[in-house]
Chains A and B, each alone.
Chain A
């Protein structure tokens, strides 16, 4: 009896310690992962991954603020706030899809960038609600059916893992269905997709809404995890981090997004560690400004990947055979 209990607490301790060591990279990584995964869903109309990510971050911010404001100032139930946050982000996704429907290429690029910009501008300037650059402090820990999930008891960690699993599962279920195929088809060749009887507008709206919904969902995690959010939480840097993850891992693959997140997320901590370590070395060998170096490295990763492996480490075409549903057979066997 006693042994078991002790074991259990040891286990909990271990989880907490690992969690604390890696919590920043892992959690941020997982949050970014959610962004990266659904970036793939946005149709070609958002020509550039970067724009896709910028709007994903905007949706992410919408989700985060909705949930945080509701739980902190209204005392709304955590689950309700999360659902509202994700849904509101989804609604903005649909709205953006509708308003960019007529535009092509470069024009979509600028409109989506503008969308990102307008959202951040509203967050900064609408003080009375968003608290602008001061931000929302003392965000309460999520309360799930009477259980408080905090950093201390590892609850947040599990919650985030759960969301990540949910996001991965949802992408898989959708990609491997008629809906996912239609979205991919519209992205690959819109005209040909229309000629297959696919309602291009409908699927663009679905794609945007889904991407926005899941970005919003990821956003609802950020507040409870950090304890505060402000306008600077949702800047270009986070867009760039997600972009680099996608580019490194390979767009359009779940594995790629995970690998990218694993490699990229600890980089910031690593460089910070390196900076401290180098304090002892002669001055010319020191690295100051680890954040700036991080971005220089991000830039180099982008340039190098585009030159030598634009599909990413794991991206591009799968070598595995197509997974057939049960009960399907080839009649002529050669």
Chain B
């Protein structure tokens, strides 16, 4: 049981991490908690469903379709919702409330279109099980974890090694200086939203396939936990998000193993509470110096 739960925890944890990275990316660049992220995650899974069910695409094309549409939706959220606010010099709170509003619109439109009940979703990675250290492990879990991990690695290579990634980091550090150096800041922000949304779409698809169902409320709790993971690790820091995601994933499945399932959702938050009491800026976060 222990090994199964551990593997399970790691698999779920990498998915939390993938979603958490999206929060962190946008936070790093706009200092804004993007509340649309969880609805974008849900949208991503639904777009795969639309691709398979309505457009009769094969699963890979359907995922590609979802990546493009969801990524585009992410960009539109910024272009239509947030960029005008930035131009106006509106407050952070206005921007955050706008994201809450947009998130409500997205989720409830999904609700109107598809209903709020459970919808069956294909199990994409049903390759049976194998034995490890006497435990029976589903390939599905391994593959899900591996896909999420590969994406995380790719994302971090992209951000740390490419020219565009460099520009992203420059905008994070000092938007005005980046603009002076000829970086198109709005382009970079759009790209950030695209990446965040696309990785959330993949995460949503993986989870939907893992549970073998979809529903419009699927993002609520995952979104919150991924946000908790980002904060736990130190928001704005990519390694922090990954670490936070893994910690939450593993401790949750350990809690199920030890305590049973009913309090599972509280584990993440209790943990967060404890960590923040000791380290108010998260595990890998740094204290921003406030000058007086």
Do A and B touch (CB < 8 Å)? yes
Question: Which residues of A approach B to under 8 Å, CB–CB?
Answer: 47-50, 99, 102-104, 106-107, 109-111, 113-114, 117-118, 121, 125, 191, 236, 240, 243, 247, 288-289, 292-293, 295-296, 298-303, 306-307, 310
**Judging by beta carbons under 8 Å apart, are A47 and B93 in contact?**
yes
**Judging by beta carbons under 8 Å apart, are A296 and B108 in contact?**
yes
Known contacts being A102-B280, A106-B235, is A48 close to B96, with CB within 8 Å? Answer: yes
In the bound complex, what is the Cα–Cα distance between A289 and B108 (angstroms)? Answer: 10
In the bound complex, what is the Cα–Cα distance between A8 and B82 (angstroms)? Answer: 57
**Judging by beta carbons under 8 Å apart, are A114 and B101 in contact?**
no
Asked if B72 is an interface residue, CB under 8 A from chain A, the answer is no
Asked if B59 is an interface residue, CB under 8 A from chain A, the answer is no
Asked if B60 is an interface residue, CB under 8 A from chain A, the answer is no
Write the nearest CB–CB distance from A97 to chain B, whole angstroms.
Answer: 14
In the bound complex, what is the Cα–Cα distance between A104 and B231 (angstroms)? Answer: 12
Which interface residue of A102, A121, A307 has the most chain B CB atoms within 10 A?
A307
Chain A positions within 8 Å of B280 at CB level: 102-104, 107
In the bound complex, what is the Cα–Cα distance between A110 and B17 (angstroms)? Answer: 16
Q: Which of B61-69, B200-208, B270-278 contacts A (4 or more CB under 8 A)?
A: B270-278
- As a 0/1 sequence over residues 87 to 107 of chain B, the CB contacts with chain A under 8 angstroms (1 = contact) are 010111111111011111101
Chain A positions within 8 Å of B133 at CB level: none
In the bound complex, what is the Cα–Cα distance between A3 and B158 (angstroms)? Answer: 86
Asked if B154 is an interface residue, CB under 8 A from chain A, the answer is no
**Judging by beta carbons under 8 Å apart, are B231 and A107 in contact?**
yes
Asked if B27 is an interface residue, CB under 8 A from chain A, the answer is yes
Chain A positions within 8 Å of B272 at CB level: 110-111, 114
**Judging by beta carbons under 8 Å apart, are A295 and B263 in contact?**
no
In the bound complex, what is the Cα–Cα distance between A286 and B105 (angstroms)? Answer: 19
Chain B positions within 8 Å of A111 at CB level: 272-273, 276
10 contacts between A and B (CB under 8 A): A48-B97, A49-B93, A103-B280, A110-B227, A111-B273, A125-B263, A288-B112, A292-B111, A295-B104, A299-B102
Known contacts being A111-B272, A118-B266, is A300 close to B101, with CB within 8 Å? Answer: yes
Contact of B105 among A103, A247, A296 (CB under 8 A): A296
A240 nearest CB neighbor, chain B only = B104
**Judging by beta carbons under 8 Å apart, are B235 and A306 in contact?**
no
**Judging by beta carbons under 8 Å apart, are B94 and A306 in contact?**
yes
Task: Give the bracket for the number of chain B residues in contact with chain A.
Answer: 35 or more
**Judging by beta carbons under 8 Å apart, are B112 and A191 in contact?**
no
Write the nearest CB–CB distance from B290 to chain A, whole angstroms.
Answer: 9
Which residues 234-272 of B have a CB within 8 angstroms of A?
Answer: 235, 262-263, 265-266, 268-270, 272
A124 nearest CB neighbor, chain B only = B262
**Judging by beta carbons under 8 Å apart, are B276 and A298 in contact?**
no
Chain A positions within 8 Å of B262 at CB level: 125
Asked if B40 is an interface residue, CB under 8 A from chain A, the answer is no
Chain A positions within 8 Å of B228 at CB level: 110, 114
**Judging by beta carbons under 8 Å apart, are B104 and A296 in contact?**
yes
**Judging by beta carbons under 8 Å apart, are A299 and B101 in contact?**
yes
Write the nearest CB–CB distance from B288 to chain A, whole angstroms.
Answer: 8
Known contacts being A49-B97, A107-B281, A289-B112, is A300 close to B269, with CB within 8 Å? Answer: no
Contact of B100 among A114, A191, A302 (CB under 8 A): A302
Write the nearest CB–CB distance from B142 to chain A, whole angstroms.
Answer: 30
**Judging by beta carbons under 8 Å apart, are A310 and B100 in contact?**
no
Known contacts being A106-B33, A109-B33, A110-B231, is A295 close to B97, with CB within 8 Å? Answer: no
Q: Other than A300-B101, A306-B90, give 14 A-B pairs with Cβ distance below 8 A.
A: A103-B276, A110-B276, A111-B276, A113-B227, A243-B100, A295-B108, A295-B111, A299-B102, A299-B103, A299-B105, A302-B98, A307-B84, A307-B90, A307-B98
**Judging by beta carbons under 8 Å apart, are B90 and A310 in contact?**
yes
A300 nearest CB neighbor, chain B only = B105
**Judging by beta carbons under 8 Å apart, are B277 and A99 in contact?**
yes
Chain B positions within 8 Å of A307 at CB level: 84-85, 88, 90, 98
In the bound complex, what is the Cα–Cα distance between A247 and B84 (angstroms)? Answer: 19
In the bound complex, what is the Cα–Cα distance between A299 and B103 (angstroms)? Answer: 8
Chain A positions within 8 Å of B105 at CB level: 296, 299-300, 303
B92 nearest CB neighbor, chain A only = A47
In the bound complex, what is the Cα–Cα distance between A221 and B35 (angstroms)? Answer: 31
Chain A positions within 8 Å of B101 at CB level: 298-303, 306
Chain A positions within 8 Å of B55 at CB level: none
Known contacts being A111-B272, A299-B105, A302-B104, is A289 close to B111, with CB within 8 Å? Answer: yes
Chain A positions within 8 Å of B97 at CB level: 48-50, 243, 247, 302, 306
In the bound complex, what is the Cα–Cα distance between A302 and B235 (angstroms)? Answer: 26
Known contacts being A48-B96, A107-B231, A121-B263, is A296 close to B109, with CB within 8 Å? Answer: yes
- As a 0/1 sequence over residues 212 to 235 of chain B, the CB contacts with chain A under 8 angstroms (1 = contact) are 000000001000100110010001
